[in-house]
Amino acid sequence: MNIKDYIASGILELYVAGSLSEKENEEVYNTIQENPELLAEVESIEKAIVQLTAATKKDASYSFSSIKNQLKVNEPKVISITKPKTNWSQYIGWVAAIILGSTLILSVLQNNKLKEQIATEKQQLESKIDSASTNLAAAEKLIEIFRDKDIITIPLAGQKVSPTSYAKVYWDKKTNSIYLDAKGLPEPPKGKVYQVWSLKLSPLTPTSLGTLDTFTADTNKIFTIENANQSEAFGITLEPAGGSASPTLEQLYTLGAVSS
C-alpha cells in the first residue's frame, strides 16, 4: 500500500471525525499499527480539530474539580469522606433496632396477656356450654315427662292468702312420683318454707310430702317428690322453716283437686 496515497485519500480525517463505519475504523486502526508513520499524521489532524472545536466554546474552561467529586473511585480517601454519613446511618440503624426490639417485647407481652384472657374466656365459655347442655338435658327430660300420656296434670289455683299464686302437679302414678312446677309462687319470706301436702277429701286428711327447702336456689322451680298416696288433691302452705306436722290452713297458697 502506498502510504502517501492512503493519507491523500482523506480517510484519516474522517477517522478522527468518527465518520467511518465500525469495520472501516478497525481497518484504519490495523493500518496504523502496520505503518507507525500514519500515527503522526492522525495525531496532527486530531490536534487541529481539537483546537478548532475548542475555539467555539462559549465560557471559560470548566475545571476538572467540577466533576471530580462525581467520579466513582475505589480510593480509601473517598471512604473517609463519606464516613460521617455511614456513622449517621449506623446511628439510625441502632435507633431503628431499639425501636424494633422494644416493639417486639411489648407485642410479646401483649400477646401473652391476650392469650391468658382468651384462655379464661374459653374456660368460661366451656362451663357455660357445659351447664347449657346440662340444662338442655334436664329440659328435655321434663318435656318427655310432660308428654307422657300416663301422667296426670293437676293445676293448683291461688287461694285467699295469695290469689295470684298458682302451681302445677304432674303425677306419674307408675313411678309414684310427682313433678311440682312451683314457678307461680312468690319467694317465701325469711324463716319460712313452702310445704307440699297430699290430701284426701272426705274426711280431709293431709299427708306431708315435704318442704321445698331449695325453692330460692332452684332456678326452674320444678321439684320431683315421692308420692305413693292415693291423693285426691294437692296443696301448698307456707310454714315455719323445718315444716309442720299439719298444714296451717290460713297460709294455704295454692290448692287443686285431682279430677277423677
Selected range binding another protein among 59-67, 84-92, 168-176, 250-258, rule: CB under 8 A:
59-67
- Pairing relationship of beta strands 192-200 and 222-226 according to DSSP bridges: unpaired
Work out whether 60 is an interface residue with another protein (CB under 8 A): yes
Work out whether 2 is an interface residue with another protein (CB under 8 A): no
Name the grid cell of 23: 469495520
Q: What Cα–Cα distance (Å) separates residue 243 from each residue in 168, 226, 246?
A: 21, 17, 9
Alpha-carbon Rg for the chain, nearest whole angstrom, is: 56
Yes or no: say if 46 and 16 are a contact pair by the CB < 8 Å rule: yes
Work out whether 4 is an interface residue with another protein (CB under 8 A): no
User: Judged by CB under 8 A, which of 36, 37, 66, 82 binds another protein?
Assistant: 66
Pick the closer one to another protein by CB: 12 or 180.
12
Work out whether 1 is an interface residue with another protein (CB under 8 A): no
Q: Alpha helix (H) ranges present in 9-82?
A: 11-17, 22-34, 37-54, 65-68, 76-81
| In the complex, least distance from residue 1 CB atom to another protein, rounded to whole angstroms | 16
Work out whether 81 is an interface residue with another protein (CB under 8 A): no
Q: Which residues contact another protein (rule: CB under 8 A)? A: 8-11, 13-22, 25-26, 29, 42, 44-62, 64, 66-68, 70-75
